């Protein structure tokens, strides 16, 4: 198995800047959040993966509290990060579609930390985090390093920003990259670190294309169809058994090519190389923070916004479903100076991050936060059971608990009739898909959750040209 410790050390020596003084200021600690987009929890060694893909992340876990059962609030970058930044669910904030926009005066983590004297900056990979989508609210400095970019682009800029900060400033730094996001293929030596570089099947072409894997469904590659033509988003249930059977039946007429087992395995191996690549750049970031003394003074949180389907149900994507592969994400919290490694197995959610940070700095939580603080658990206190919820633009809701979960399909998260539909639909019918555990109890949890939310209405109108262009660059909308 290839190891990257020497490679990472060489990169750090070549690219690191002269560190500035890093005496811990009086008052709250610096706060740093790192989001590695599309990283499945099961790829980390700290989550049990034996393949050694994540040496840097695993070292971080050895000094952190790892929340082993963390679930995203949505299966797309835009909505998941909106929840991360507000501690609320997407439909509480805006339309769960690509017209999404924070309402005026929405308390965001960056904005609230600004009230406590923090200087807030974000260095992101664009795409769904581009300012066009409005998630820059509250940040004094919000930089798109490159559209659909990597930690390769954002990490050096983030470290340079830290060097330029006045000594008296307390930073809130958010760093993001799309490293394991499609297109999966990354530069040498990472691109084929796990995969056979001589493989010549269909899978080779798909990982080289910016939207190839996104056009794969039910084990077929639909070269002649755009993503929004493959999945019929007008259907009541976008990805239930009936919809999938219809897609299989259409495949010959659409000249779709069936992936072989070797193709699927090659795609997974290239994804794993992208995980290695993101891990290496995360290691560089941590080396830079250590040089600047911030590993001793800062609260550092590492997470992903959602997972990725890697051939389950024939999909290499994260948008069609709210399955474990799409929603189970890593979450690691490292207090200043680090701590003994610990694992928390209780179900948690990314909506818990904002209240956790605010409690850690001694702040006051805004009203209406959906999440709960995990800071006590970082200190070793027991964490009571609590369900995690998720929603998507494609008429799906999900609940996850310590003993399983339930997915509901067939109604918009903005429907005023949703609690009634959840209550009335047959548990053994097509609307529900069990993830284990007590289905009736999980349904009641969904009913109670939806009834408790002040859901925003849908927004009429076309998607702005600026947003549409960004979406088309990665095959998210028509035109590709």
Clarify whether residues 126 and 247 are in a common domain.
Answer: no
Let me know whether 128 and 247 are in one domain: no
Last residue within a domain, chosen from 322, 352, 386: 386
**Is residue 425 in a domain?**
no
Same domain, 342 and 237: no
429-456 as b/e: b if 16+ CB within 10 A: eebbbebebebeebbebbbebbeebebb
45 and 165 together in one domain: yes
213, 178: one domain: no
Residue 317 tokens, joined: 């994507």
Do residues 378 and 260 both lie within one domain? Answer: no
Q: Does any domain span residue 115?
A: yes
Each residue of 444-480: pLDDT tens digit?
Answer: 999 999 999 988 876 666 777 876 777 777 666 544 3
Residues 13 and 135 in one domain: yes
Rg, the chain, Cα only: 21
d(Cα 187, Cα 179) in Å, to the nearest integer?
11
Note whether residue 196 is domain-resident: no
CA gap 240, 233 in Å, rounded: 12
13 and 90 both lie in a single domain: yes
Between CA 108 and CA 56, with CA 40 as vertex, the angle to 5 degrees is 85
Which domain, by its residues, includes 303? 8-19+27-184+267-386
Alpha-carbon separation of residue 237 from 157, 234, 320 (angstroms): 42, 8, 10
Q: Is residue 170 part of a domain?
A: yes
User: Which domain CATH number covers 73?
Assistant: 3.40.720.10
Specify if 32 maps to a domain: yes
**218 shares a domain with 112:** no
Residue 458 lies in a domain: no
CA distances from 178 to 90, 108, 266, 278, 474 (A): 21, 22, 20, 8, 12
Last residue of a domain, one of 340, 357, 386: 386
Domain contains 405 = no
Total-model pTM:
0.92
Q: Are both 257 and 280 inside the same structural domain? A: no
Quick check: is 475 in a domain?
no
Q: What is the pLDDT along the chain (480 residues), one digit of tens a residue?
A: 333 343 444 344 333 333 333 344 468 999 999 999 999 999 999 999 999 999 999 999 999 999 999 999 999 999 999 999 999 999 999 989 888 888 888 999 999 999 999 999 999 999 889 998 899 999 999 999 998 999 999 999 999 999 999 999 999 999 999 999 999 999 999 999 999 999 999 999 999 987 789 899 999 999 988 777 787 777 788 878 888 888 899 999 999 999 999 999 999 999 999 999 999 999 999 999 999 999 999 999 999 999 999 999 889 999 889 999 999 999 999 999 999 999 999 999 999 999 999 999 999 999 889 999 999 999 999 999 999 999 998 899 999 999 999 999 999 899 889 999 999 999 999 999 999 999 999 999 999 999 999 888 766 667 778 767 777 776 665 443
Instruction: State which of 358, 386, 414 marks the end of a domain.
Output: 386
Helix 261-291, helix 5-15: angle, nearest 10: 50
What's the structural domain count of the chain? 2
Residues 257 and 274 in one domain: no
Whole-Å CA distances, 214 to 172, 201, 210, 230: 34, 17, 8, 10
Give yes or no: residues 136 and 273 share one domain.
yes
């Amino acid at each position: 198995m290839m190891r990257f410790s020497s490679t990472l050390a060489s990169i750090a020596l070549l690219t690191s800047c002269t560190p500035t003084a890093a005496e811990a200021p009086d008052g709250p600690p610096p706060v740093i959040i790192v989001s590695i987009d599309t990283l499945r929890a099961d790829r980390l060694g700290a989550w049990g993966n034996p393949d050694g893909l994540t040496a840097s992340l695993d070292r971080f876990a050895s000094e952190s509290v790892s929340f082993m059962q963390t679930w995203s609030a949505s299966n797309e970058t835009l909505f998941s990060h909106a929840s991360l930044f507000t501690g609320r669910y997407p439909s509480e904030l805006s339309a769960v579609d690509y017209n999404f926009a924070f309402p005026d005066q929405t308390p965001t983590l960056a904005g609230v930390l600004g009230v406590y004297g923090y200087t807030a900056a974000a260095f992101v990979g664009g795409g769904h985090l581009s300012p066009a989508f409005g998630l820059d609210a509250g940040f004094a400095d919000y930089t798109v390093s490159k559209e659909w970019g990597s930690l390769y682009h954002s990490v050096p800029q983030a470290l340079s920003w830290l060097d330029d900060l006045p000594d008296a400033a307390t930073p809130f730094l958010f760093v993001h990259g799309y490293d394991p996001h499609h297109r999966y293929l990354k530069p040498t030596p990472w691109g084929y670190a796990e995969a056979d570089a001589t493989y010549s099947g269909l899978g080779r072409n798909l990982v080289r294309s910016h939207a190839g894997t996104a056009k794969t469904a039910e084990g077929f590659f639909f070269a002649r169809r755009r993503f929004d033509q493959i999945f019929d988003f007008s259907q009541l249930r976008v990805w239930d058994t009936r919809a999938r059977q219809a897609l299989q039946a259409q495949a010959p007429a659409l000249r779709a090519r069936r992936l072989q087992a070797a193709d699927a395995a090659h795609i997974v191996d290239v994804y794993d190389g992208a995980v290695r690549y993101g891990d290496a750049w995360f290691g560089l970031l941590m080396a830079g923070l250590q040089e600047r003394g911030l590993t001793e003074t800062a609260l550092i949180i590492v997470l992903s916004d959602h997972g990725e389907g890697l051939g389950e149900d024939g999909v290499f994507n994260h948008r069609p479903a709210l399955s474990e592969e799409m929603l189970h994400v890593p979450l690691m919290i490292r207090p200043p100076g680090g701590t003994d490694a610990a694992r928390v197995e209780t179900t948690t959610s990314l909506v818990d991050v904002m209240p956790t940070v605010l409690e850690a700095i001694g702040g006051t939580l805004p009203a209406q936060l959906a999440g709960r603080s995990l800071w006590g658990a970082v200190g070793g206190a027991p964490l009571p059971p609590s369900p995690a919820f998720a929603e998507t633009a494609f008429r799906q809701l999900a609940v996850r608990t310590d003993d399983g979960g339930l997915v509901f399909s067939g109604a918009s998260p903005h429907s005023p009739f949703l609690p009634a539909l959840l209550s009335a639909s047959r548990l053994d019918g097509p609307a529900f898909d069990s993830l284990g555990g007590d289905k009736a109890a999980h349904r009641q949890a969904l009913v109670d959750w939806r009834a408790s939310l002040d859901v925003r209405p849908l927004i009429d109108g076309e998607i702005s040209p600026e947003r549409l262009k960004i979406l088309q660059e990665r095959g998210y909308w028509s035109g590709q």
